[in-house]
A and B are shown apart, each in its own frame.
Chain A
Amino acid sequence: MGTTASAYLTGFGRYLPGDPVDNHGIVARLGGDDPVTARIRGMILDQNGIRQRHYALDERGEPTELNEELAVKALRAALDDRGIRPDDLRMLATATTIGDVLVPGFASMVHGRLGGGPMQLLSASGVCASSLQALDAAVGKVKLGEHPRVAVVGSELASRSLRQRRFDGIRAGMDSHFLRWMLSDGAGAVVVEFQPHPSRPSLRVDWVRHVSLAHEHDVCMRAGMDGLEPEVGRTWQDVGIGDAEASGMFVLRQDVSVLDDLAGAGLREFEQLVDIGLVDVSHLDHVVCHYSTNAFRDLAFDGLRKRIPTLDTDRWFSNLETCGNTGAASIFIALEEAWRTGRFSPGETILLAVPESGRFSFAFAHLTVVAPPDQQGAPT
Chain B
Amino acid sequence: MTTDTAATATTTDAAGAASPAEPAALSERLAEVWAELEERLDRVPILRALAEGTVTIDDYRRLLFNLRQQVVDGSPWISRAASNFDIDHFTLRAAAIKHAEEEHRDYLMLERDYVAIGGSLDELRAGRKNLGSEALSGYMFTYADRPNPVGLLGAMFIIEGLGAKRAAGWAARFQEVLGLADNQVHFMTYHQEADGAHTGDLQAILDSGIIDDAAADEIVRCAQVVARLYALQLEELDR
On A, residues with C-beta under 8 Å from B are 2-6, 88, 90, 143-149, 194-195, 373, 378-380
A88 to B119, CA, bound (A): 9
Chain A min CB distance to B187 (Å): 13
Q: Is the CB of A149 within 8 A of B118?
A: yes
- Contact status of A195 and B179, CB under 8 A, knowing A145-B116, A148-B117: yes
- Contact status of A379 and B177, CB under 8 A, knowing A145-B116, A148-B118, A373-B56: yes
A145 to B180, CA, bound (A): 7
Q: Is the CB of B56 within 8 A of A144?
A: no
Residues of A with C-beta under 8 A to B53:
378-380
- Contacting residue for A195 out of B57, B176, B182, CB 8 A: B57
Residue among A4, A88, A90 having the largest count of chain B Cβ atoms under 10 Å: A4
Which of B158-213 touch A at CB < 8 Å? Answer: 175-184
Say if the beta carbon of B91 comes within 8 Å of chain A. no
Question: What would be 21 A-B contacts, judged by CB atoms less than 8 Å apart?
Answer: A2-B181, A3-B175, A4-B181, A4-B182, A5-B179, A5-B184, A6-B179, A88-B118, A144-B183, A145-B182, A145-B184, A147-B116, A148-B116, A148-B117, A149-B118, A194-B179, A194-B180, A195-B178, A195-B179, A378-B54, A380-B53
- Contacting residue for A3 out of B52, B116, B117, B180, CB 8 A: B180
A119 to B160, CA, bound (A): 36
Residues of A with C-beta under 8 A to B183:
144-146
Chain A min CB distance to B50 (Å): 11
Residue among A6, A143, A145 having the largest count of chain B Cβ atoms under 10 Å: A145
A3 to B183, CA, bound (A): 9
User: Which range contains the number of B residues in contact with the other chain?
Assistant: 10 to 19
On B, residues with C-beta under 8 Å from A are 52-54, 56-57, 116-118, 175-184
Residue among A149, A195, A380 having the largest count of chain B Cβ atoms under 10 Å: A195
The chain A residue with its CB closest to the CB of B53 is A378
- Contact status of A194 and B117, CB under 8 A, knowing A5-B179, A144-B181: yes
Residues of B with C-beta under 8 A to A3:
175, 180-182
A373 to B59, CA, bound (A): 14
A147 to B184, CA, bound (A): 10
Residues of B with C-beta under 8 A to A90:
118
A147 to B118, CA, bound (A): 8
A342 to B183, CA, bound (A): 35
Q: Is the CB of A2 within 8 A of B179?
A: no
Given contacts A6-B179, A195-B179, could you give 12 more A-B pairs where the C-beta distance is less than 8 Å?
A3-B180, A3-B181, A4-B182, A5-B181, A88-B118, A145-B181, A146-B116, A194-B179, A194-B180, A194-B181, A379-B53, A380-B53
Q: How many A-B residue pairs have CB under 8 A?
A: 50
A5 to B117, CA, bound (A): 10
Chain B min CB distance to A50 (Å): 40
A149 to B118, CA, bound (A): 7
Residues of A with C-beta under 8 A to B175:
3
A144 to B183, CA, bound (A): 7
A80 to B19, CA, bound (A): 72
Chain B min CB distance to A102 (Å): 34
Residues of B with C-beta under 8 A to A195:
57, 178-179
The chain B residue with its CB closest to the CB of A1 is B182
A106 to B22, CA, bound (A): 72
A271 to B33, CA, bound (A): 62
Q: Is the CB of A379 within 8 A of B176?
A: yes
Residues of A with C-beta under 8 A to B54:
378
Residue among B116, B117, B181 having the largest count of chain A Cβ atoms under 10 Å: B181
A4 to B184, CA, bound (A): 9
Residue among B177, B182, B183 having the largest count of chain A Cβ atoms under 10 Å: B183
Residues of A with C-beta under 8 A to B118:
88, 90, 148-149, 194
Residues of A with C-beta under 8 A to B176:
379
The chain B residue with its CB closest to the CB of A195 is B57
Chain B min CB distance to A261 (Å): 41
A251 to B12, CA, bound (A): 87
The chain B residue with its CB closest to the CB of A142 is B181
Residues of A with C-beta under 8 A to B179:
5-6, 194-195
Q: Is the CB of A2 within 8 A of B182?
A: yes
Residues of B with C-beta under 8 A to A2:
181-182
A379 to B175, CA, bound (A): 11
Residues of B with C-beta under 8 A to A88:
118
A378 to B175, CA, bound (A): 13
A90 to B116, CA, bound (A): 9
